[in-house]
Amino acid sequence: MSWTDYRIAREKMVREQLIARGIMDERVIAAMREIPRHLFLDQEAGPQAYSDHAFPIGYSQTMSQPFTVAYLSECLELKGDERVLEIGTGSGYQAAVLSKLAGEVFTIERIGPLADKAAETIKALNIHNVRIKVGDGAQGWDSGVLFDRVLFTAAARSVSHELLMQLRDGGFLLGPVQREDGGQEIVKMIRKGSACTLKRLKECAFVPMMREGEMDARDIPINRERFRGG
């Protein structure tokens, strides 16, 4: 396919999968329209890169479907100057989209070859505000670095206190969590001092988060606040 063909496929993706399903943030739509999703997948994916489903990227990991990437990006409520931490770089596509929406993007990937490939693709696209490192995302970035948003893109059973404390006061963490009944849901955890408020957004299905050590949320004071969301 030519570059023009991919651009047409991307425009169709935006129109039929995002706008038609309720994505309204114009900056998110513009970012999804700009970033060439097919470059983050093997060449064999071709135009299917823009279809409405997730893609395997190796090591039992996947790239989320376009709507999920757009939905998470919209839920982050970014204005353009925020510092964002992403847990689970994967292909690097989500980080590339966020690079158009935030001031700085830090992203951690536990699997070295995935991190390397993501870094190569992002560099090839001349994106300069994304930093990638290999490590255990459960512990966050280096100590002393605070973030306005934290996004995790694999289903966690709990969230570590260390990760929560890397949020600025008033910032929030967003991502899928594993429920005790086996289901998953996307939640938003807003930091308020040393505690946080938990809001439940929607049902979801993500690959489980890989970790070196167990994440334990029992020592995190959480005010559980149920609400209906889309």
Catalytic member of 64, 91, 99, 160: 64
Coil, helix or strand at residue 155: strand
- 121, 39 Cβ separation under 8 angstroms: yes
d(CA 196, CA 175): 15
d(CA 66, CA 68): 5
The total of other beta-carbon atoms located within 10 Å of residue 65's CB is 16
d(CA 200, CA 196): 13
d(CA 81, CA 115): 24
- Judge whether 64 counts as a catalytic residue: yes
Catalytic residues: 64
